Amino acid sequence: MVTSLDGAVQGPDGRSATVSSPPDRVVLSLLRRLADVVVAGAGTVRAEHYGPSSRPIAVVSRVLDLDPAAPLFTEAAHRTIVLTCASSPADRRAALSEVADVVVAGDTSLDVPAAVRALAERGLTRILCEGGPHLLASIVAARALDELCYTMTPALVGGTSHRLLEAPSDLHSDWTLGHLIEDGGTLLMRWVARRS
């Protein structure tokens, strides 16, 4: 996850790429190469214009507002995975099943442990979550986040923006700093979850 100095996770255009920096993009590229699968919420996938990748991509969506004709599905080197819940529209699940592996994990919202198990059954155990803030909050609430790679870039954005986590209630968890690197004013941090 990346933020500006004032905590914005996106710029005025609604994209996190706007608050990113060259060192952040290098780390993101490295993390993607190390991962078995990249997981992102549908809003992030739309805002950041996700396309085909060298790694499998799993999109999380409750309402399945996804275009089956998008390159993310039609041009993917690895069949895209869609993680959804049982209450999602059956017609959209059926349409997406033609171009993606649709996994139902949960009744009305994503059951994070079930989704992780479904990915592991496919041999995808190194999971990189690229957000957005609502998905990240649900992963933290499920105590399924082991590490947080967090970049703070030397920019001020102002205005309104989402936070790193968007949660309906307080989420309390303890973290310890694993690494801190500075590059051209960009702070690259790796935080490790403390488990009791």
Could you give all domains of the chain from N- to C-terminal order, each with its CATH number?
1-34+131-196 (3.40.430.10), 36-125 (3.40.430.10)
pTM of the model: 0.93
Nearest to 42 by CA among 90, 88, 98: 88
Q: What pLDDT score was predicted for residue 78?
A: 95
Q: Quick one: average pLDDT of 131-152? A: 93
Count of CB atoms situated within 10 Å of the CB of 26:
13
Phi, psi of 103 (to 5 degrees): -115, 125
Strand order across the 101-104 sheet: 101-104, 81-84, 57-60, 37-41, 127-129
**What pairs with residue 84 in β-bridges?**
104
Asked if pLDDT for residue 150 goes beyond 70, the answer is yes
Q: What pLDDT score was predicted for residue 159?
A: 85
What pLDDT digit, counting tens, does each position of 91-100 carry? Answer: 999 999 999 9
Angle separating helix axes 133-141 and 112-121, nearest 10 degrees: 90
**What pairs with residue 183 in β-bridges?**
186
CB 41 within 8 A of CB 62: no
Q: What pLDDT score was predicted for residue 196?
A: 66
Please report, for residues 92, 106, 139, 176, the alpha-carbon distance to residue 63 in angstroms, rounded to integers and kept in the order given.
8, 13, 18, 36
